[in-house]
Amino acid sequence: MRWSMIATWKMSYDGVKKGTFLLKDNKSAKEAVLEAIHEVEKNENYHSVGYSGLPNEQGVVQCDAGFMDGETLQAGAVGALEDVVHAVDVAYECSKGRFNNVLVGEGANEFASSLGIKKETMLTKESYEKYLQRKKEKLPLSSYDGHDTVGMVALDQQGHLVSATSTSGLFMKKKGRIGDSPLIGSGFYCDDEAGGAAATGVGEEIMRGCLSYEAVRRMKEGMSAQQAASSTVYEWTEKMILKKGYCDAISLICMNVQGEVGIGTNIKFAFVCADENHEPQVYVAIPDGKDIILRAYDDHQDHLD
């Protein structure tokens, strides 16, 4: 059975490399995705996910994450989680039960503690300095222009799909704000009968259209992964422009049950993918009307996470 993996942003490259080792070794998509996201969450150089994430307007790092198993459709999520590096692990644990699959704020924190997860200070010196600088630069406080959620979809050799996300969300967000990343069907979705998807960008824009579910629905109806991804983002962008005059950043990764991948975006967007015939590689997607232009990432030309 073919295996495949795709992830948002250049920062996912090392994680995807680790994930592909597991998939090659006939490990599950769950194991591959969790290991790959861990690699991003623990890296202090990435300020939009996990440790060293940029804080909310009160100087507190609050993380969101989601996990979905395409075989069982079990899904879990956490929002506004504090003092936990691997938020995706807590989301995964939430997915196991019949109830209480989505936990936020104090409830999410207490659940993480009940699992024996060690509390860690998430705000590093560098991210705190960025916070202080932003407070000086802009009043009233506003969110920054980057929305670099790590989202992943993987297909294992048993034919099972997993989709997951992790993010520290918008810089200078309101306390308790969550975006699309922990919302099932918006930031992530997967179904072994159709495919999987994950989103990154402005959560308020993505959640209005439940875009990950919409892309998976289109694959189930017969669209290729690329058709589903690009048409979902293009049509939603056009609708938002018609409704309110503009559309914020949206990017979507998709994978069908054959392991074929697709990209939809309304900005210049970097992603990583690999399968049994291709080693992990960073690519850039550029919107071109209804189409997407794809090319290999160039360190000298591209300045994306």
Give residue-wise pLDDT tens across range 28-70. Answer: 999 999 999 999 999 999 999 999 999 999 999 999 999 999 9
Give the pLDDT score at 298. Answer: 86
The structural domain count of the chain equals: 1
**pLDDT value of position 301:** 78
Q: Which domain holds residue 238?
A: 4-296
Buried b (16+ CB within 10 A) or exposed e, 263-286: bbbbbebbbbbbbeeeebebbbbe
Mean local confidence (pLDDT), 163-182: 96
Answer yes or no: is 249 within a domain.
yes
CATH at residue 12: 3.60.20.30
Is position 155 within any domain?
A: yes
Q: How much is the average pLDDT of 232-250? A: 97
Query: Is the residue at 11 inside a domain?
Result: yes
- Provide the annotated active-site residues: 149
Residue 304 domain-assigned?
no
Q: What pLDDT score does 302 carry?
A: 76
In this structure, is residue 302 part of a structural domain? no
Contacts of 13 (CB under 8 A, 6+ apart): 272, 280, 282
Stated pTM of the model: 0.96
Q: Is residue 303 one of the residues assigned to a domain?
A: no
239 belongs to a structural domain: yes
pLDDT tens-digit series, residues 184-205: 999 999 999 999 999 999 999 9
